[in-house]
C-alpha cells in the first residue's frame, strides 16, 4: 500500500478536487491518505474528513513547519511506500500511475526515492512556467539519474518507508529546502531517480503570485545555503492561496 501524506494550510479551494481524484484508489485500498493540517482557518479539515479518517490537526503554539507536518503524517503511515505531495497537485490516472512507479522500485531494490516530471496545469501555465519547469525537470534528471546527488521538489516525493525512517525523515530544523535535503540524504543509503515517463500537474501559484525572478532567487539561495551551510536562508515560507 502507498501512504499519501499531504501537509495543508487553508487549502479548501484545492483539496476537494485533489482528494476526489484519489477516491477510487482509496476505495480499492491501493492508497491511504493522511492529511496533516497546520490549523487551517477555512474548511480544509472538514473537506478532508469526507475522504479520510486520518486528518491530523496541529495543536502547537508555534506555526507548524512543512517538515514537521510531513513527519507527523509519516508516523501514522501504514504503507510500504510514502508519497509526500502538495495539496494543489493532480496525478493523472492514479491507479496506473502508481503501478508504474511501484514497478520501478520492484525492479531496482537499491532505489529508495523517486520523483517525476512537474508541470503547471495546462489552463494555468504561462510561458515562464513551461520554460522554468522544463529546465528544472531535466536538471533533476542529471542530478538524480546521472550524478547521484539527489534532488526533488516538494510537489512530489515518492520514498520507501523503511528508507525514510532509516534517515529519520525530514529535518524539522529546515523551514524550507527540506525536500532537497531529504533526497540528498537518501542517496547516502541508496539511489534516487526521476521517472521521466510520468508527470504530475500543480497550480504554479507561488510563481504566479511573486514572479519567477523572485522565486528563482529564493530557490537557489536556499539550495546553496543548504549545500554549504546545512541550513536554509529563508526564515519563513509564506503560504500563498
Q: What is the pTM of this model?
A: 0.96
Three-state SS string over 88-124 comes to CCECCCHHHHHHHHHHHHHHCCCEEEEEEEEEECCCC
Q: Domain spans of the chain? A: 2-204
Query: In angstroms, what is the C-alpha Rg of the chain?
Result: 17
Q: How much is the pLDDT for 64?
A: 86
Q: How much is the pLDDT for 233?
A: 87
Q: How far apart are CA 155 and CA 208, in angstroms?
A: 16
Identify the CATH class of 2-204. Answer: alpha beta
Ranges in the chain, pLDDT < 70: none
Amino acid at each position: 500500500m502507498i501512504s499519501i501524506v499531504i501537509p495543508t494550510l487553508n487549502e479548501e479551494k484545492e483539496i476537494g478536487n485533489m482528494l476526489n481524484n484519489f477516491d477510487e484508489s482509496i476505495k480499492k485500498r491501493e492508497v491511504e491518505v493522511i492529511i496533516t493540517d497546520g490549523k487551517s482557518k477555512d474548511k480544509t479539515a472538514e473537506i478532508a474528513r469526507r475522504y479520510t479518517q486520518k486528518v491530523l490537526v496541529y495543536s502547537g503554539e508555534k506555526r507548524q513547519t512543512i517538515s514537521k507536518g510531513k513527519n507527523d503524517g509519516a508516523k501514522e503511515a501504514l504503507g510500504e511506500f510514502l508519497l509526500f505531495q502538495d495539496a494543489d497537485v493532480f496525478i493523472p490516472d492514479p491507479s496506473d500511475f502508481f503501478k508504474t512507479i511501484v514497478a520501478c522500485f520492484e525492479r531496482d531494490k537499491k532505489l529508495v526515492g523517486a520523483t517525476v516530471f512537474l508541470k503547471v496545469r495546462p489552463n494555468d501555465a504561462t510561458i515562464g512556467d513551461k520554460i522554468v519547469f522544463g529546465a528544472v525537470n531535466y536538471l533533476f534528471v542529471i542530478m538524480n539519474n546521472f550524478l547521484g546527488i539527489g534532488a526533488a521538489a516538494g510537489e512530489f516525493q515518492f520514498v520507501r518507508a523503511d528508507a525514510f525512517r532509516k534517515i529519520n525523515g525530514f529535518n524539522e530544523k529546515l523551514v524550507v529546502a527540506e525536500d532537497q535535503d531529504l533526497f540528498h540524504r537518501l542517496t547516502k543509503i541508496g539511489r534516487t531517480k526521476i521517472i521521466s515517463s510520468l508527470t504530475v500537474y500543480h497550480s504554479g501559484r507561488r510563481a504566479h503570485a511573486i514572479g519567477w525572478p523572485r522565486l528563482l532567487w529564493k530557490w537557489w539561495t536556499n539550495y546553496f545555503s543548504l549545500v554549504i551551510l546545512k541550513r536554509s536562508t529563508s526564515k519563513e515560507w509564506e503560504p500563498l492561496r
